[in-house]
């Protein structure tokens, strides 16, 4: 489990494609210093298992299912990625409960000084409400406005500086995760 509070922006050092899977090697010295093989780490909003930790880098294997549901398969060496180690008992939950289970990929419709508008699939939008939580690339954000086919989030200067969201452009695709509580409420009430 994660909070959606990004701890570090890592840099992709290598992308190794193998039999439908991808091995990602990411330079993230702060996260690597506190990680061991087997730890869960959120990478661009996707929960992955560290398979190697050495010299300030972490390596992860993304399987075909993960690649189909996220943007990880499009990463190239040099790309920045939001990195968050798993929440440990006793740490503050500063954002919201984020599982690292991507619900869909959205596309940036507009970027402004205030924030970003994201065109999202219907199966993501159904769980979105104004002032509700959403994770974009692993960043916990609040939905400011909800449209027919999109939602808008405001971005404070710190979020732009401390995450990859400060570099997004119109047309970029981003990993989206809705609030898991909304999914459970639907499941319990639709029966």
Residues with Cβ < 8 Å from 47, sequence gap 6 or more?
2, 40, 41, 86, 99, 100, 101
Q: What are phi and psi of 141, to 5 degrees?
A: -135, 160
**Lowest-confidence region among 47-51, 86-90, 111-115, 155-159:** 86-90
For residue 111, how many C-alpha atoms fall within 13 Å in the half-sphere facing its CB?
12
Take residue 129 and report the two structure tokens written for it.
């409400």
pTM of the shown model: 0.95
Write the pLDDT tens digit of every residue in 13-40: 999 999 999 999 999 999 999 999 999 9
Residue 182: its pLDDT value, please?
Answer: 86
Take residue 101 and report the two structure tokens written for it.
């289970």
Write the pLDDT tens digit of every residue in 117-126: 999 999 999 9
Residue 155: its pLDDT value, please?
Answer: 97
């Amino acid at each position: 489990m994660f909070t959606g509070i990004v701890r570090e922006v890592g840099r992709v050092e290598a992308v190794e494609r193998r039999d439908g899977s991808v091995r990602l090697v990411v330079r993230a010295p702060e996260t690597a210093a506190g990680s061991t093989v087997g730890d869960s780490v959120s990478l661009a909003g996707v929960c992955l298992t560290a398979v190697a930790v050495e010299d300030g880098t972490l390596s992860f294997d993304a399987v075909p299912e993960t690649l189909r549901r996220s943007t990880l398969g499009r990463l190239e060496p040099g790309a920045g990625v939001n990195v968050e180690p798993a929440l440990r008992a006793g740490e503050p939950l500063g954002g919201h409960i984020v599982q690292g289970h991507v619900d869909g990929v959205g596309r940036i419709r507009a970027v402004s000084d205030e924030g970003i508008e994201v065109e999202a699939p219907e199966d993501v939008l159904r769980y979105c409400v104004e002032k509700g939580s959403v994770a974009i690339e692993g960043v916990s954000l609040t939905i400011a406005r909800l449209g027919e086919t999109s939602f808008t989030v405001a971005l404070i200067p710190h979020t732009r500086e401390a995450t990859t969201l400060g570099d997004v452009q119109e047309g970029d695709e981003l990993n989206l995760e809705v609030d898991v509580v909304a999914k459970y409420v639907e499941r319990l009430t639709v029966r």
